[in-house]
């Protein structure tokens, strides 16, 4: 069994499901969140579910727990003690994503495969791997655009995709010239490939050390804006995970 810091896991789930272009989650959970946890939502927000705020997502998670709906929570944010039953199942190894490389080496040694399987080193992802990810994300995003025409103009859609790459630490925040270039991309059949090339160029110019800290910086800024009462209630949701797996808050 492998676990992860509950607060980092929550923010990762939020970004993947509600910041990244994700029509299935937006049209389902996203619309529900906007209608339930936002005062006076616009018609567009209720119809699209595309602009869920982090605090609204957390309100939904907390509400699900307080109403004893944790068993039907999405597996991406369901507490590990509910998802994996560590008090009922006697796991041989409980690893952590924060120490994944060392822990998986221990798994291999435990099963007698330490000298038979060579794992990649635990360094940062290569630029080539990031290019593959970026290309796949952009293609996947534009494949969903026909369902989102009411929600975004083409320019707004392009900006949303790039903002997602920034928050995930693939590229540094854009300067004025880069934003201008972004909005000048011709709208046509090649818009996805043109955007991909612009993001690649921006990635090549980004300081790789700064990129390592961007995701954590984004996460800390979001949590810093939350009311203390919400943070307290959030700790109660994940109290068992925090205690069982040694995450101290």
State the average pLDDT over residues 154-172.
91
Q: Tell me what pLDDT residue 99 has.
A: 92
Residues 6+ apart with CB under 8 A from 211: 169, 170, 171, 172
Position 181 scores a pLDDT of: 86
Collapsing DSSP states into helix, strand and coil, what is residue 83? helix
Confidence class for position 167, pLDDT limits 50, 70, 90: confident
What does the domain layout of the chain look like in residue ranges? 2-120+219-244, 127-211
Give the model confidence (pLDDT) of 66-94 as tens digits. 998 888 899 999 999 999 999 999 999 99
Give the per-residue pLDDT at 124. 54
Position 122 scores a pLDDT of 55
Q: Kindly report, residue by residue over 98-121, the tens digit of the pLDDT.
A: 999 899 999 999 999 988 888 776
Tens digits of residue pLDDT in 145-161: 999 989 999 899 999 99
In DSSP notation, 111-127 reads TT-TTT--PPPSSPPPH
Please name every residue paired with 198 in a beta bridge, in sequence order, or none if there are none.
none
d(CA 164, CA 146): 19
Least confident of 13-27, 39-53, 79-93, 124-138: 124-138
Question: Average pLDDT for residues 181-199, to the nearest whole number?
Answer: 91
More confident of the two residues 193 and 213:
193
Q: Does residue 43 surpass a pLDDT of 80?
A: yes
CB atoms within 10 A of CB 62: 17
Please tell me the distance from the alpha carbon of residue 5 to that of residue 235, in angstroms, as a whole number: 12
Q: What is the pLDDT of residue 71?
A: 80
What pTM, to 2 d.p., does this model score?
Answer: 0.90
Task: Please check whether residue 73 is in contact with residue 64, taking contact to mean a CB–CB distance below 8 angstroms.
Answer: yes
Residue-averaged pLDDT of the chain = 91
Please tell me the predicted confidence (pLDDT) of residue 204.
87
């Amino acid at each position: 069994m492998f676990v992860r810091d509950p607060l980092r896991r929550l923010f990762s789930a939020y970004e993947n499901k509600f910041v990244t272009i994700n029509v299935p989650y937006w049209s389902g959970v996203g619309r529900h969140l906007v209608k339930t946890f936002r005062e006076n939502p616009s018609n567009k927000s209720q119809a699209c579910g595309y602009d869920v705020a982090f605090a609204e997502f957390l309100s939904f998670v907390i509400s699900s727990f307080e109403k004893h709906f944790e068993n039907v929570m999405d597996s991406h944010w369901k507490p590990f003690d509910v998802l994996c039953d560590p008090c009922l199942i006697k796991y041989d190894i409980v690893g952590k994503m924060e120490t994944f490389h060392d822990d998986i080496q221990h798994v291999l040694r435990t099963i007698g495969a330490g000298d038979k399987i060579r794992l990649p080193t635990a360094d940062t992802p290569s630029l080539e791997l990031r290019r593959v990810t970026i290309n796949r994300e952009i293609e996947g995003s534009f494949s969903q655009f026909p369902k989102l025409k009411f929600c975004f103009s083409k320019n707004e859609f392009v900006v949303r995709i790039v903002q997602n790459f920034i928050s995930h630490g693939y590229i540094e925040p854009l300067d004025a010239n880069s934003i201008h270039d972004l909005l000048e991309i011709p709208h046509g059949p090649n818009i996805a490939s043109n955007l991909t090339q612009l993001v690649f160029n921006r990635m090549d110019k980004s300081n790789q050390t700064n990129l390592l800290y961007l995701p954590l910086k984004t996460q800390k800024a979001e949590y810093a804006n939350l009311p203390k009462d919400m943070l307290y209630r959030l700790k109660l949701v994940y109290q068992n995970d925090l205690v069982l797996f040694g995450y101290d808050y």
